[in-house]
Each structure stands twice: as structure tokens, then as C-alpha cells.
Amino acid sequence: MIGSARTAAALLTTGILAACASSPPPSYVPRRASLPPPATPEEALPGVDLSSLEPAQRQVVGEWAQATFSYCGAPRTVSAALRQGSSCRHAPRMAKLAVRLAAAGYDREKLSRAITDYYSSFDGRKRAKLEIASFGPPLGDPAAPSAIVEFSDFTCPFCQRLRPTLEKFVADRPGRVRLHFKPYAIESHVNSLEAAQAAEWARERGAFWKMHDTLFENPFATDPDSLVIFAKELGLDGDDLAAALKSDKYVARVRGSMAEAKAAGLTGTPTLYVNGRILRAGEFTDSTLEFTLEDEEEWQRNGGWVRD
């Protein structure tokens, strides 16, 4: 019995959740977790709001919770931790994430895989090492411990849509998080590469965020002549920008950023990284960004997850 508990704990410690998430609950359960099997998803997930889910989706989450270990260190499933009323912090957070994914249409297999991928992304070996020293200044407090790196394109409508959410998220959390913008030009878009070059030219002159804002506010005016006009309106040397664009001076810098992003797993824009940990597009809302920032802060503060 002791060996079974140590085996389960070792699986958690080494992060091997994929096997746990796809397997039935372990045969060994500590005495204080010896509870009758839940008859409904609501019984399996006490205290978890399932109101956003259809009956089939509730069943998916309930089954997942009974087959998946929590990340609190003890050999208990998410459901067991919730039903015991334990101090495990991650059982309710994992359940909340599962509800969100189920509501988005994830089936049992896809949901299990997504949660496994999310938690395993905190492993330092899976974090991208992104160069940000020369891509400043950040938006927000430069000393904030959590850095969001955004790879984005000024002509991308999804990037334009994310901009106010992301900027407000950073502004509302002073001292906690900062934002670094790195270019990823979609070269099939007309003048995308030119816009990215103009932003990097402005960065060298201490006016990146002013140019950034201007370009996002004028997504259909990124031709070289318009870019020169924007530079002059910002009090910069438009003729110098025109010469830089003509000589392709900043193309290597932009494409270097793009190559780095591809190597780090980018598949489209916008893509965000929190301290090198990739986020997917489904996570780009204020509430989901806050959720993952809280987890990031816990991980950084404790060197891992808080144990039960």
C-alpha cells in the first residue's frame, strides 16, 4: 500500500499527468478519501459551478475529475480532493479550467490533453528563451517579475482585437506584469513587413509605443508614404524612415524575431508567452490571463506548485 502511494506521488512530482489523466482512478485511496462513488457530476465536483455546461459536458468533466490526480502532491484525484474538503489549492483550479474547456466543446480526450499540456508548460525545460533585452521598453513596470511577450502583426485583425484587452490587463496590474512586443510580419499581407520595420525604426528612437499605437489605429494605411507621414506627425525624421524602408535596414531584425517565434512554437498571430511559457489563443481574455498569471506567480514564488 505504501509503495502504491509513493508511486502515485512520484508520478505527480515528475509531471507525468498524461498517464494519470487517461487512466481510471488508482485502486489505492487513502482512508480519509474512502467515499462512496459519486452518482452525478455535481456530487463528483462539489463547489464547482457547472451551470454553463450541458448535461453531456458535465458528464465529461465529472469523469475527468474522478480519473485525474490533482497537482497538490497527495495521491488523490481532483474529485476526491474536492469531496474531502481538503486544502488542495489546485483541485478547484483544475476543475475550473476543465469547465471552461468543456464549455468550449472539448471532449474528454481533448480536455485531458489540454490540461496536461497547460500544467506541463510550467516546466522550465519547455519554456522558450526569448530575447527581449533589445525589444524594449516594455509596457508596464520594467521591474515586474512576469513578462508577457507578444508576437504580433499590425495588419492582423486578431492582433488588433486583442490589443485593448492586453494593454488594459497590464495597466490594471502594476508591478505584477509587463508587456514586450516583438514583430511577426505576415508577409502575405500588403505592407505588413513595412509596418513592422517602421515600428523597429521607431523603437531605436525611443518612440516605439507611439508608433505601435498609430499603426494599430491605422491598419489600412501602412504603405511607405503613410508610414513616413506618421513618423513626421510623431515628431520624428520621416525622411530617415523613408531611407530605412528603401534600404530594408530592419528586415533582418524583423525576420530574426519571426524565426525565433517559429522555433518557440508559434503557429499564428497573436501568440503570447508568459516568462517563456506559450499561451494559446483560447486563453486571451482578462479572466483567463489572470488565471494563468496567478499560476505563474505561484510557480515562481515557490519553485513549483504548493503542496497539500
Q: State the average pLDDT over residues 51-68.
A: 97
Q: What is the pLDDT of residues 72-98, one digit of tens each?
A: 888 899 999 999 988 889 999 999 999
**Residue 10, domain extent:** 2-120
Question: Considering Cα of 149, then 293, then 16, then 49, what sign does the dihedral take?
Answer: negative
Query: Is 245 part of any domain?
Result: yes
The more confidently predicted of residues 8 and 234 is 234
Determine the 3-state secondary structure of 279 from DSSP. strand
Query: Is 134 part of any domain?
Result: no
| Domains held by the chain: number | 2
Query: Is 297 part of any domain?
Result: no
CATH number of domain containing 232: 3.40.30.10
Q: State the average pLDDT over residues 267-289.
A: 91
Residue matched to cell numbers 509596418: 195
Predicted confidence band of residue 34 (pLDDT cuts 50, 70, 90):
low
Query: Is 266 part of any domain?
Result: yes
Model confidence at 3: pLDDT above 70: no
Task: With beta carbons less than 8 A apart as the criterion, state whether 203 and 244 touch.
Answer: no
For 59, 134, 148, 167, 172, the CA distances from 208, given in Å and listed in that order, are 49, 12, 17, 15, 21
CA angle centred on 86, ends 123 and 76, rounded to 5°: 55
Residue 86's pLDDT is 84
Spatial distance between the Cα atoms of 84 and 281, rounded to a whole number of angstroms? 35
Q: Do 91 and 196 fall into the same domain?
A: no
Q: Do 100 and 195 fall into the same domain?
A: no
Residue 283's pLDDT is 77
Spatial distance between the Cα atoms of 257 and 83, rounded to a whole number of angstroms? 48
- Look at strands 271-274 and 146-152 and give their pairing: antiparallel
Q: Do 50 and 164 fall into the same domain?
A: no
Task: With beta carbons less than 8 A apart as the criterion, state whether 46 and 82 touch.
Answer: yes
Spatial distance between the Cα atoms of 194 and 234, rounded to a whole number of angstroms? 17
Q: Do 151 and 282 fall into the same domain?
A: yes
Q: Do 220 and 271 fall into the same domain?
A: yes
Q: Do 282 and 151 fall into the same domain?
A: yes
Query: Is 125 part of any domain?
Result: no
Instruction: Share the mean pLDDT of the chain.
Output: 89
Q: State the average pLDDT over residues 10-35.
A: 38
Q: Do 89 and 168 fall into the same domain?
A: no
Spatial distance between the Cα atoms of 221 and 200, rounded to a whole number of angstroms? 17
Model confidence at 24: pLDDT above 70: no
Task: With beta carbons less than 8 A apart as the criterion, state whether 65 and 77 touch.
Answer: yes
Model confidence at 6: pLDDT above 50: no
Predicted confidence band of residue 275 (pLDDT cuts 50, 70, 90):
very high
Query: Is 239 part of any domain?
Result: yes
In the chain the beta strands, taken as DSSP E runs, fall at: 146-152, 177-183, 271-274, 277-279
Residue 306's pLDDT is 86
Q: Do 106 and 194 fall into the same domain?
A: no
Q: State the average pLDDT over residues 158-172.
A: 97
Share of the chain above pLDDT 70, in %: 88
Residue 2's pLDDT is 39
Model confidence at 15: pLDDT above 70: no
Query: Is 298 part of any domain?
Result: no
| Grid cell locating 288 | 483567463
Query: Is 8 part of any domain?
Result: yes
Give the other-Cβ count within 10 Å of 109's Cβ: 12
